[in-house]
Chain A
Amino acid sequence: NAGVTQTPKFQVLKTGQSMTLQCAQDMNHEYMSWYRQDPGMGLRLIHYSVGAGITDQGEVPNGYNVSRSTTEDFPLRLLSAAPSQTSVYFCASSRTSTAGGYTFGSGTRLTVV
């Protein structure tokens, strides 16, 4: 039972490059979300999805895109990386958005130079 799997664990990008952070869950959870964690800021929601084909913006969506073509996968795309996107990114899933507890992945540490 893998839970929530994030890849890669570490990544260094140059300013302007694009990349996709992968997130997959094997618990048949409907709800998935992406957070970024910055020192002194806590965790902030980037984007979320309540089911396949449905996504919405969170608190800090600018510079990121998401799609949800399957229940299992919820990739996060950085369109043109900026140093301000240097952060630790966490993917989370839950059975529903309101009833279940959240399971988090182990995170992706991204540095943009």
Chain B
Amino acid sequence: KQEVTQIPAALSVPEGENLVLNCSFTDSAIYNLQWFRQDPGKGLTSLLLIQSSQREQTSGRLNASLDKSSGRSTLYIAASQPGDSATYLCAVGSQGGSEKLVFGKGTKLTVNP
């Protein structure tokens, strides 16, 4: 059974800092990995999608990497801003026989002005 873990559960940083959020998964047989952002009381906004054949994806100040063999992904946020404060969720599209995303429990990020 695929399990996805995100560390740390919460992170507080000063504005302008570069930061890394971590995601690990137990089964390397995945289709893809997706990073989402969730603001309080809101839905999920897709940030980056990495297919299993890719190593990284970039969008603006965000860069996500994928290492299938080690079961890890990182989300790098450059020059953080208070508007980046949200919960970041990692989700894995698993090949394990069921067609679903398996989610981590998220990292709650606070960027202080």
| Residues on A facing B (Cβ under 8 Å) | 31, 33, 40-43, 45, 48, 50, 56, 58-59, 90, 92, 97-107
When the two chains form their complex, are residues A48 and B99 in contact, meaning their CB atoms are under 8 A apart?
A: yes
When the two chains form their complex, are residues A101 and B99 in contact, meaning their CB atoms are under 8 A apart?
A: no
Chain B residues near A101: list those with CB within 8 A.
32, 34, 46, 49
Against A, the Cβ 8 Å flags (1 = close, 0 = not) of B58-98 are 00000000000000000000000000000001010101001
Chain B residues near A98: list those with CB within 8 A.
31-32, 93, 95, 99
Q: If the complex has contacts A98-B93, A103-B46, A107-B42, are A45 and B105 also in contact, measured as CB distance less than 8 A?
A: no
Instruction: Select A102's contact among B34, B42, B95, beta carbons within 8 Å.
Output: B34
When the two chains form their complex, are residues A97 and B43 in contact, meaning their CB atoms are under 8 A apart?
A: no
Q: Given A42-B104, A104-B44, list of 13 further CB < 8 A pairs?
A: A33-B100, A40-B105, A43-B89, A43-B103, A45-B101, A59-B100, A97-B100, A98-B31, A102-B46, A102-B101, A104-B36, A106-B42, A106-B43
When the two chains form their complex, are residues B46 and A97 in contact, meaning their CB atoms are under 8 A apart?
A: no
Instruction: Select B43's contact among A59, A100, A104, beta carbons within 8 Å.
Output: A104
- For B91, B93, B101, B106, the residue with the greatest tally of chain A CB atoms inside 10 Å of its CB is B101
Instruction: Select B103's contact among A40, A42, A100, A103, beta carbons within 8 Å.
Output: A42
Chain B residues near A50: list those with CB within 8 A.
99
Chain B residues near A97: list those with CB within 8 A.
93, 99-100
Q: If the complex has contacts A40-B105, A101-B34, are A58 and B100 also in contact, measured as CB distance less than 8 A?
A: yes
Chain B residues near A33: list those with CB within 8 A.
100-101
A56–B98 Cα gap in the complex (Å)? 9
